[in-house]
Every structure is written in structure tokens, then in C-alpha cells.
Amino acid sequence: MEKDWLDHGITILVVILIFTVQMLITTFLVLFERKFVAWMQVRIGPNRAGPWGLFQTVADALKLMVKEIFVPRGADRTIYMLAPFLTVFPAFMAFAILPIGPSFEFVHGDKTHVVAIQGANLNVGILWLLAMSSVAVYGVMLAGWASGSKYSLLGSVRASAQVISYEAALSLSILPVLLWTGTLDLQEIVAAQSGWNWYAFGLLLIPFVSFFISGMAETNRLPFDLVEAESELVAGFHTEYGGARFMFFFLAEYINIMTISAVAVTLFLGGWNGPWVPVQADPAGWQVALGVLYFFLKTFVLLFLFIWIRATLPRMRYDQLMSFGWKILIPVNLVFLMVLAGLVVMQEVGAWPAGFFR
């Protein structure tokens, strides 16, 4: 189908909408995290800026934006200035491939237009996420290197090692989903989970847990936040950053958390699937809205889990982190992948009932 100006306009509109929603959710995610952690510590949390502290993050962002841009003397100026953008750009891009709601059609003139609530429906789908999260390491690495500070350098060395190690586990826990559905297309992966066939409810619970844990390590969250371990490295790779550039790192971190949660929802928790939202060619308007709501509701549950774990667990030791990644997560995923591959082959030759264990 040839795309006309309306299709391109819709795409641009959807992209702008997703970007706005992403920014808004990230802004409030910071507040939610502070509130939840405060409640778990029997405190109140931010409550001064606006009702219930709703504008706390906005005030923080404004403060950071008007602060002086400062380059330390030992820094490599060009790379130092560039690194925050190298971190925040992939963070935004990774979210673009996720189908947020069911696609719907509308007729304009004599032509039917399909609106996919998705930044871009790439045929490589989930590989884009892996590519973007790999590119994001460059920002962290270069930030630490260019700062000319020992804390930054140590933080970025840790970040590179940690992210590269857990990237393997992350990819290996995505592979079972691809093997089971036989496609990289995220729309089809979501469609395959319709009617409560969420992968996390079946055999694929193991890769889901593994994905969540390695996602936590990938986004440098507690208990894997050795990259920015305050008690050891001041702030890790962004020690020497302030003002708007620090804000970009901060933003990227929270966008990454949201992206990991959203990807986990898409791959394992049925995406926008839920009651009264069937996978069909032309859903009603309220069904589309409900689908979007389900998607964000599920994402929010995972985000809460992130925050809950952060409030509970202490930081891991570095050798524990590495041995957990290489000696437990990756072997478990490899074995599971082999078993699953065997099951798929058995299903194809008919030695295993189709649909069993989904």
C-alpha cells in the first residue's frame, strides 16, 4: 500500500504523542519513586512543590536547566559535551518500537488508513532494542572517560563491564520468545499472546524473570547500581556533570527503566492485551484506549516492582554481580533455550502436543 501524506502525518503525530507521554511518565516516575521509597521508609516524601509534591520533578528540572554549564579542566571538552546526548538519544529511540495499543483503521476518502500506536513498526523489531541499549553504553563510557576524573572513569569501566555482561543475559532471555513466536515483529508477538496467553504465565516465566533481573542490571538500578555507587564512587560516570547535562543522564536512566518495563510487558505480559481488547482488524475507539491503558498499567506494575526492589535490597558486591551474571543467569538461559528449541522441533514433528505449555 502506497503511503500518502495523511499516513506520514499520522506517523509524525503518533511519534510526537509517544514522546510527550514518555516525557510525562518519566517526570512522574521520578516522583513516584521518591514517594514510594519514602513510604517504605515510613517517611512522607516530597510534598512541598504543588499538591502532594506533584511539581517536584518539574521544579528540579527547571533548577537543573538554569544552572551553569561547567566543564572541568581535565575534561576532553568535545566528548564531555557530547556524552549526555549519546545516552539520552538511544533511551528515547528504544521506546519507539513498542506497540502501545492496538492498531486501528479509518477511512478517508476512498482509502483506508491504518494507525499503529507505535513509533515505528520495524521488521527487525526487538533487535532494535538490543542495538539501542548497546549504543547507550557508549554514552556512559565516554562520559566517564572524558570527565578526567577517577570516580567517573571507575564508574564507566564498571558500567561497560556490567552492561556488556548482562546484555548477553538480556538477549538470551529474549531469544525464547522469538523462538516460540517465530517472528521479530513486536505487533505479532503481542498478537500471539492474546486471550490470556501471556508468556510469563507459562514456560517462559524463566526468561521473564531473567529478563527482569538483567534489565535491572542493564539500567544500573539497585541492587546492581555499582556504576553509580554513591558510597564508593561519588556518583559514578556522571560525577563531573551538572546542570542540564546531568539532567540528561538522569532522564536517560529513568527512560531506560520505563523502556525495560515496557519491553517486558510487550514480550512476556501480553502487551496491550487484556479483557475486552481482542486482537482484530478494526477495534472500537474505546477498545484502543483500553488497550493503551492496559499497556501502561502493566508497565506501572513492573515499575513499582523496580522501585520496591530498590527500596528493599542492598547493593551487590562487584564479584557477586559478575558471577551471578556469568555463572547463573547465562547458563540458565542457555539451557532453557536448548530445551525450548528441542520442544519446538518436537512440536513440528508432532512428538509434543501443539499448544502444550503454550
Partner 1 sequence: MFIGAIARGMRVTWRNMFRPQVTTQYPEEVRPKPPRFHGRHVLNRYADGMEKCIGCELCAGVCPSSCIYVRGADNPPEAPVSPGERFGYVYEINFLRCIFCGLCVEACPTTAITMTNLFEMSFTDREDAIFGKDLLLVGEEGESRHEGKNYDPLSLSKRGGWMRATSPGGDADYEGIPGWPSDAGRGVETAETGQHNLPSANAEGSQEGSGAVSEGHP
Least separation, in Å, of the C-beta of 241 and partner 1?
30
Number of residues that bind partner 1 (CB under 8 A): 14
Tell whether residue 313 is a contact of partner 1 (CB under 8 A). Answer: yes
Taking CB under 8 A as the binding criterion, the range among 1-9, 21-29, 35-43, 229-237 that sits at the site for partner 1 is 35-43
Tell whether residue 13 is a contact of partner 1 (CB under 8 A). Answer: no
d(CA 142, CA 131): 17
First to last CA, the chain: 34
Least separation, in Å, of the C-beta of 29 and partner 1?
17
Q: Which residues inside 318-347 make contact with partner 1, applying CB under 8 A?
A: 328
Taking CB under 8 A as the binding criterion, the range among 64-72, 176-184, 244-252, 308-316 that sits at the site for partner 1 is 308-316
Least separation, in Å, of the C-beta of 351 and partner 1?
33
Angle subtended by helix axes 205-218 and 285-312, to nearest 10: 70
Least separation, in Å, of the C-beta of 300 and partner 1?
16
Least separation, in Å, of the C-beta of 354 and partner 1?
33
d(CA 162, CA 137): 10
d(CA 187, CA 5): 23
- Pick one of 203, 309, 322, 341: the residue that binds partner 1 (CB under 8 A): 309
Tell whether residue 49 is a contact of partner 1 (CB under 8 A). Answer: no
- Pick one of 20, 280, 312, 323: the residue that binds partner 1 (CB under 8 A): 312
Tell whether residue 42 is a contact of partner 1 (CB under 8 A). Answer: yes
Which amino acid appears at position 3 of this protein? K
Angle in degrees, CA 210, 211, 214, rounded to 5: 80
- CA 55 vs. chain centroid, Å, equals 24
Neighbours of 347 (CB within 10 A): 16
Taking CB under 8 A as the binding criterion, the range among 36-44, 274-282, 284-292, 349-357 that sits at the site for partner 1 is 36-44
d(CA 279, CA 277): 7
Tell whether residue 52 is a contact of partner 1 (CB under 8 A). Answer: no
- Pick one of 6, 8, 41, 50: the residue that binds partner 1 (CB under 8 A): 41
- CA 299 vs. chain centroid, Å, equals 10
d(CA 188, CA 293): 19
Nearer to partner 1, 43 or 108 (CB): 43
Region for residue 221 given its phi and psi (left: phi exceeds 0; alpha: psi -120 to 50; beta: otherwise)? beta
Nearer to partner 1, 154 or 213 (CB): 213
d(CA 11, CA 295): 20
Judged by DSSP in three states, 198 sits in coil
Tell whether residue 311 is a contact of partner 1 (CB under 8 A). Answer: yes
Binding site for partner 1 (CB under 8 A): 36, 38-44, 308-309, 311-313, 328
